[in-house]
C-alpha cells in the first residue's frame, strides 16, 4: 500500500493557547489533506513518558496504584513517570523505578516505544523490563500518593485481560512480556 512521504497538512496559522512546564497546547488553522479548511489542536509534551515493568526471579511484578486526576479514577499501572527529552530514557527509567517502588535492577531490557495518543498529542513513551531486583527505600514525589502491590505476573496479565488495567503503556508492557514468556524468552 502506498502512503505519502510528505506531510499533506498545511498550517495557515497557529496560536499557543496554554503553556506550563509539562505541556503546551496549540490551536492550528489548517488546510486538511483533502484541501478543505479546518482546525486542529495539539498537545505537545515537554517530557518523554517512561514505563518500567519490574519482574523478579519468581515472575512476580510490582504495580503502582494511584488516583489519576485526568481520568477521575483509580489506576493500577507499572512504575511510570516523565523524563526530559535530552535525558537517556534508561536513566529516567532507573530513577522512576527507584522513586516509586524503591527497587533497583541489574538487568534492563527495552520492550517497546509508543505514541500514547497520536490523534491529539505528540506524547512518546519508552518502556523497559527490569530484572535482577533489589529493594531499597522508595522516594515518591509530593504529588504522588502511591500504593505498591507485589503480585504474580500471571495475575497482572489477567487484570489486563479483564480490563482492570487500562493504562496504555502498562497494557503494552504486560502483553509484550506475556509474549516473551510464551516464546520461551523469559
| Torsion, Cα of 6, 7, 9, 13 (10° steps) | -120
Instruction: Note the pLDDT of residue 129.
Output: 98
Q: What CATH number should be reported for the domain holding residue 56?
A: 3.90.79.10
- 3-state DSSP of the chain: CCCCCCCCCEEEEEEEEEECCCEEEEEEEEECCCCCEEEEEEEEECEEEEEEEEECCCCEEEEEEEEECCCCEEEEECCEEEEECCCCHHHHHHHHHHHHHCEEEEEEEEEEEEECCCCCECCEEEEEEEEEEEECCCCCCCCCCCEEEEEEHHHHHHHHHCCCCCCHHHHHHHHHHHHHHHCCCC
Say how far apart CA 160 and CA 157 lie, in whole Å.
5
Same-domain status, 41 and 58:
no
- Same domain flag for 106 and 178: yes
Q: Is the pLDDT confidence value at 145 over 90?
A: no
- Reply yes or no on whether the pLDDT at 141 is more than 70: no
Count of domains for the chain: 2
For residue 97, pLDDT over 80 is answered with yes
Same domain for 141 and 164? yes
Asked whether the beta carbons of 132 and 106 are under 8 A apart, the reply is yes
Tell me, yes or no, whether 52 and 25 share the same domain: no
Same domain? For 67 and 86 the reply is yes
Residue 111 confidence (pLDDT) above 70: yes
Are 36 and 86 part of one and the same domain? no
Residue with cell 514468556: 181
pLDDT value for 142: 66
Same structural domain, 123 and 161 = yes
If asked whether residues 30 and 100 sit together in one domain, one would say no
Q: Is the pLDDT of residue 91 over 70?
A: yes
If asked whether residues 97 and 29 sit together in one domain, one would say no
Domain contains 5:
no
pLDDT, residue 50, reads 98
pLDDT at res. 3: 74
pLDDT, average across residues 53-68: 96
0.85 exceeded by the pTM?
A: yes
Q: Which pLDDT band holds residue 144 (cuts at 50, 70, 90)?
A: low
Same domain, 53 and 95: yes
Do residues 121 and 29 both lie within one domain? no
* Mean pLDDT across the chain: 94
Residues 82-95 have a mean pLDDT of 96
Residue 2 domain-assigned (yes or no): no
pLDDT per position as a tens digit, 28-59: 999 999 999 999 999 999 999 999 999 999 99
Per-residue model confidence (pLDDT) at position 2:
73
All three cell numbers of 167, joined, read: 493504562
Question: In whole angstroms, what is the distance from residue 159 CA to residue 176 CA?
Answer: 15
- 100 with 27, same domain? no
Q: Which domain holds residue 65?
A: 48-182
Q: Is residue 27 part of a domain?
A: yes
Amino acid at each position: 500500500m502506498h502512503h505519502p512521504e510528505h506531510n499533506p497538512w498545511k498550517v495557515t496559522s497557529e496560536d499557543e493557547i496554554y503553556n506550563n512546564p509539562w505541556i503546551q497546547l496549540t490551536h492550528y488553522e489548517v488546510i486538511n489533506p483533502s484541501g478543505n479548511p479546518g482546525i486542529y489542536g495539539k498537545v505537545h509534551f515537554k517530557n518523554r513518558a517512561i514505563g518500567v515493568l519490574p519482574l523478579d526471579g519468581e515472575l512476580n511484578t510490582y504495580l503502582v496504584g494511584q488516583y489519576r486526576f485526568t481520568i477521575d479514577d483509580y489506576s493500577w499501572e507499572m512504575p511510570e513517570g516523565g523524563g526530559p527529552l535530552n535525558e537517556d530514557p534508561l536513566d529516567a527509567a532507573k530513577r522512576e523505578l527507584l522513586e516509586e517502588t524503591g527497587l533497583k535492577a541489574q538487568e534492563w531490557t527495552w520492550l517497546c516505544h509508543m505514541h500514547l495518543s497520536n490523534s491529539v498529542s505528540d506524547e512518546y513513551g519508552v518502556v523497559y523490563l527490569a530484572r535482577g531486583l533489589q529493594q531499597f527505600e522508595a522516594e515518591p514525589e509530593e504529588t504522588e500518593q502511591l500504593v505498591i502491590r507485589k503480585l504474580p505476573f500471571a495475575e497482572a496479565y489477567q487484570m489486563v485481560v479483564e480490563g482492570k488495567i487500562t493504562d496504555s503503556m502498562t497494557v503494552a508492557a504486560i502483553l509484550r512480556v506475556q509474549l516473551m514468556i510464551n516464546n520461551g524468552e523469559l
